Amino acid sequence: MVATKDETGPEPVHVVTMRCADLSTPVAGAIVSRCHTCEEPVWLSPSTVREAPNPRTVICLPCARPLTVKDKIKPDPLTEGQRLEIARETGLHGDALDRAIDSVVKHLTSPAANAPGRNAPLPG
Ligand SMILES: [Zn+2]
């Protein structure tokens, strides 16, 4: 999954990905990378490695959430390769696949379950 700020510029694209701890069985050929923010091991799928724009910042789902909510980073539509990968892994197609992807995007951009704490603004 790919998220970018809603503006053009040299800013790296945020590649949002699952932590290894949260996904024991990644897509075939996935490689391990590290979250730019928390340094947890994360998965990079082959299509992400191949198709995600550069420069890019790899960030895990939990770290991406406060960013997407606070800074209004908007997830980019998935590439065709990423959709195919998800379809292959989940067995979902067409509308069912769109709904599954939509629910992840909503989860990413909804402030409802945003945990306060280390991403709270500093006083002063
Ligand atoms: Zn992280």
Q: pLDDT for 2-25, tens place per residue? A: 555 555 555 778 888 889 998 888
Q: Is residue 118 part of a domain?
A: no
Q: What is the pLDDT of residues 35-47, one digit of tens each?
A: 999 999 999 999 9
Residue 112 — left, alpha, or beta (φ > 0 → left; ψ -120 to 50 → alpha)? alpha
Q: Is residue 124 part of a domain?
A: no
Domain count, the chain: 1
Higher per-residue pLDDT: 8 or 61: 61
Q: Is residue 114 part of a domain?
A: no
3-state helix, strand, coil in the chain (%, to 5): 35, 20, 45
Predicted local distance difference test score (pLDDT) of residue 1: 57
Q: What is the pLDDT of residues 74-124, one digit of tens each?
A: 667 788 888 898 898 889 999 999 998 888 888 777 765 544 444 444 544
Q: How far is the CA of 40 from the centre of ligand 1 (A)?
A: 6
Q: Is residue 121 part of a domain?
A: no
Q: How far is the CA of 62 from the centre of ligand 1 (A)?
A: 6
Domain range enclosing 45: 2-109
Q: Is residue 6 part of a domain?
A: yes
**Protein residues with C-beta less than 5 angstroms from the ion ligand 1:** 35, 37-38, 60, 63
What is the model's pTM?
0.67
Q: How far is the CA of 42 from the centre of ligand 1 (A)?
A: 8
Q: Is residue 45 part of a domain?
A: yes
Q: How far is the CA of 35 from the centre of ligand 1 (A)?
A: 5
Contact present, 45 and 27 (Cβ < 8 Å): yes
Predicted local distance difference test score (pLDDT) of residue 100: 87
Q: Is residue 15 part of a domain?
A: yes
Predicted local distance difference test score (pLDDT) of residue 68: 79
Q: Is residue 83 part of a domain?
A: yes
Predicted local distance difference test score (pLDDT) of residue 7: 53
Residue 66 has pLDDT above 90, yes or no: no
